[in-house]
């Protein structure tokens, strides 16, 4: 069941032009998740505080799915990576101002 907080948050996101999908519907089968990623415009993601403190260039499986599908990913910076350079579809931010300034 969706809580009141979740309903309010969903409504606010939709008012700001975001499309919100039910997670259970999206992950029900591998092909539905694949379709969701491929039909998305991009990913935006923040990480747990420990990831930013460790600076180990951590990246999520979901972000890799977006990049493999040719979609851009805007993610919180978790350290420099020699394998995934910045601005090659992967855009990293350290704070709100950097996130807003990204293309």
pLDDT in tens, 1-12: 566 778 888 888
Residue 88 CA to residue 91 CA, distance in Å, equals: 8
Please report which residue ranges of 1-103 form alpha helices under DSSP H. 4-15, 23-26, 30-39, 49-54, 61-68, 96-101
Q: In the chain, how long is the greatest CA-to-CA distance?
A: 43
* Entry pTM: 0.79
For the chain, the structural domain boundaries read 1-39, 42-103
pLDDT tens figures, 14-63? 898 888 888 888 888 999 999 999 999 899 888 888 888 998 888 899 99
The structure tokens listed for 38 are 């491929």
Cα 59 from Cα 51, distance rounded (Å): 9
């Amino acid at each position: 069941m969706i809580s009141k907080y979740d309903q309010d948050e969903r409504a606010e996101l939709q008012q700001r032009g975001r499309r919100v999908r039910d997670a259970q519907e999206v992950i029900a089968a591998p092909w539905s998740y694949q379709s969701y990623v491929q039909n998305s415009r991009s990913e935006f993601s923040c990480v747990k505080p420990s990831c930013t403190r460790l600076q180990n260039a951590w990246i999520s499986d979901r972000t890799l799915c977006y990049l493999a599908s040719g979609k851009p990913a805007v993610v919180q910076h978790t350290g420099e990576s020699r394998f995934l350079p910045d601005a090659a579809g992967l855009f990293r931010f350290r704070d709100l101002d950097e996130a807003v300034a990204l293309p």
